[in-house]
Structures are given as C-alpha cells and as structure tokens.
Amino acid sequence: MTILNIAPTKSGLLTLKRQLAVAEEGYDLLEQKRQILVFELMKRLKRAREVERLVNQALPAAFAALREATLDVGAPAMDRAALAASLNHDVTIGAIHLMGLRLPQVTARIEPPGLPFGVGGTSANTDKAMKRFAGTLLLLPELAELETAILRLAAELRRTQRRCNALSKIFIPNYRQTITFIASTLEEREREAFVIVKMIRDRLAAEGS
C-alpha cells in the first residue's frame, strides 16, 4: 500500500473520503457485472458443448449417407443431383446488448427438404444425405453465435476482473491508508494545539497572579 501525495488537511481528508466512496461503489458495480458475465459465459459454454456434440454426431452421419449414395449411383450422378437440388434457407444476423457488450444473435430458417430428386439417377441414400445435411445447417448458425459470444464475454470478463483487482488491491487500500494517515496527522496536530493553548493559558494565569 502507498500513501498518496495529498496535503494532510481537513479538506483533503473530505476529498479522499468522497473519492473512496466512489471507488467502493464502482467496485461493487464491477463485481456485480463480473458475476453476471460469469453466469452468461457459463450458460453459453454449456449450450455450446451441447450443440457441438450434436454437430459432431450429425456431420459424420451425413457424410456416411453421402458416401453410401455415391457408392450407389457414382460421383458423376451425385454431382448432377447436387446441381439440381434447391433448398431455400434464410439466416438472420442481429445483436443483443448485455452490460454494454454487443453479442451476436443468429437465427436460421430452412425449409424442410422434400423429395427434390427424381426416381432415376439417385438412391434412397441421396435423400437421406440431404436431410441430414439440412438438419446440420440448423445447428451451425447457433454454434457460430455461441462461439462468438463466448469469446466476447471472456474478453470482457478479463477486462472487468482487471479493473476489480485494481480497485480492490491498489486504489481502495491506498485511499484507506492515506485517510488513516491524514486523520492521525490531524489528531496529532489538534493535540499539539491543545497543549500549546493550555500552556499559554497557564502562563497568562501565572503572570496575572
């Protein structure tokens, strides 16, 4: 702890006490913000793990169906089928605000795949592969949203934690130490002044008698 370079006066003491009150209030607000950020971060981490697990399950199944379809009809036929396929989808990217932080909000809408392929030239595995990839597409926007939000929340949490540490471990202890020093200095001065006044009174009383 360090004593601040402030003149030990009553006005300086009052100024320091006001600044200490502001610093303590700021620390309380930052601590509340830190707790909210931790809660939001952990909530998104949990959901991200779940979505990532679903994606890791869905993609291998989709690629497996694609391989089976390719084995059924051959790669050229699959290329022609892919060019003929049409799947309408809509991805909307927005934002939400949390504690002064801008977090992404991504929503995806995909029309349920019907039967876009003809009877000839494809197989049942072709339809299966398309349905599985379409299902995966619904998960990927949410996963991207979660991962981006997690990165931003983690960065903001680090900044907030540094500010909390600076206030609780440096600024607030320095203010308190300086206030204690000034208060004791002023008390010592008052005692000295009282002794001096008493000595003067005693001397005047002795001279008067």
Match 């620390």 to its residue by tokens: 27
Tokens of 65: 């169906």
Residue 99 has pLDDT above 70, yes or no: yes
The chain-wide mean pLDDT, for the chain, equals 84
Match 């390719």 to its residue by tokens: 70
Supply the pTM of this predicted model.
0.74
Predicted pLDDT at 89: 73
pLDDT band at 51 (very low <50, low <70, confident <90, very high): very high
- Mean pLDDT on 172-183: 91
Rounded Cα distance, 54 and 200, in Å: 89
CB-side neighbour CA atoms (13 Å) of 166 = 9
Percentage with pLDDT > 70 across the chain: 89
Give per-residue pLDDT as tens, 135-154.
888 888 899 999 999 999 99
In the chain, what are the domain boundaries?
19-181
For domain 19-181, which CATH number applies: 3.40.50.720, 3.30.43.10, 1.10.357.10, 1.10.287.3240?
A: 1.10.287.3240
Give per-residue pLDDT as tens, 6-31.
888 888 889 999 999 999 999 999 99
Tokens of 142: 């949410």
